[in-house]
Amino acid sequence: MLPATTKWYDRRDCVVIEFCVEDSKDVKVKFEKSKMNFTCLGGTEGHKHQNEIDLFEVIDPNESKHKRTDRSVLCYLRKVESGKSWPRLTKDKAKLSWLGVDFNNWKDWEDDSDEELSSFDRFSEMMNNMGGEDELPDVDGAVEDEYADSDDEKMPDLE
């Protein structure tokens, strides 16, 4: 049995795992509180794949799901502690050759706090309420006549 090449990414309320097996058959996914098990037959040669993962944190097995596509099997693991980031997928810090981060879908959601978003909204509202060109303050020494500048003479036509 070979482990399937696997990518994962973290979200506020879930962890998404993708087992990259094309044309998978006999897919079996078992979710437990701190562990998950994946098996399938895959590819044109029908290799048997198995991945057993001791998870970094606890998940809700009843709310976790999986979906098979032609190219992979996606697993949605519902976190028990929503809002807590996972620095890695596995409990152990060991580097696994078949496991990698899905950087195309990774998002640093921990930096997006509601407080920061609301202050951004307040800033946008303040900018919109600042008025247009008609309300610009007078500047001492500013020329009011738009044609008063001597450099604004008509240019001769090009030949």
Predicted confidence at residue 119, as pLDDT, reads 46
Look over the chain and give the mean of its residue pLDDT values, rounded to a whole number: 81
Q: 60-77 pLDDT, tens per residue?
A: 999 999 999 999 999 999
- Strand ranges of the sheet holding 99-101, from the earlier edge strand across to the other edge: 65-68, 73-78, 14-19, 6-10, 99-101
The number of angstroms, rounded, from the C-alpha of 152 to the middle of its chain's C-alpha atoms is 52
- Average pLDDT (3-32) is 95
Rounded Cα gap, residues 90 and 53, in angstroms: 6
Select the CATH number that applies to the domain covering 1-93 from these four: 3.30.300.180, 3.40.50.1170, 2.130.10.10, 2.60.40.790: 2.60.40.790
Predicted confidence at residue 156, as pLDDT, reads 78
Predicted confidence at residue 46, as pLDDT, reads 86
Contacts of 70 (CB under 8 A, 6+ apart): 22, 23
> pTM of the predicted model, to two decimals?
0.68
Predicted confidence at residue 109, as pLDDT, reads 63
Predicted confidence at residue 127, as pLDDT, reads 53
Contacts of the segment 108-117: beta carbons below 8 A, 24+ positions apart: 109/10, 109/11, 109/12, 109/85, 110/85
**Residue 58 confidence (pLDDT) above 70:** yes
Confidence tier at 107 by pLDDT (50, 70, 90): confident
Q: What are the structural domain ranges in the chain?
A: 1-93
Closest CA to 41 of 58, 26, 62, 57: 26
Instruction: Retrieve residue 115's tokens.
Output: 């407080």
Q: 110-145 pLDDT, tens per residue?
A: 655 544 444 445 555 655 565 544 444 455 555 555
- Average pLDDT (23-52) is 93
SS3 59: strand
Rounded Cα gap, residues 53 and 15, in angstroms: 13
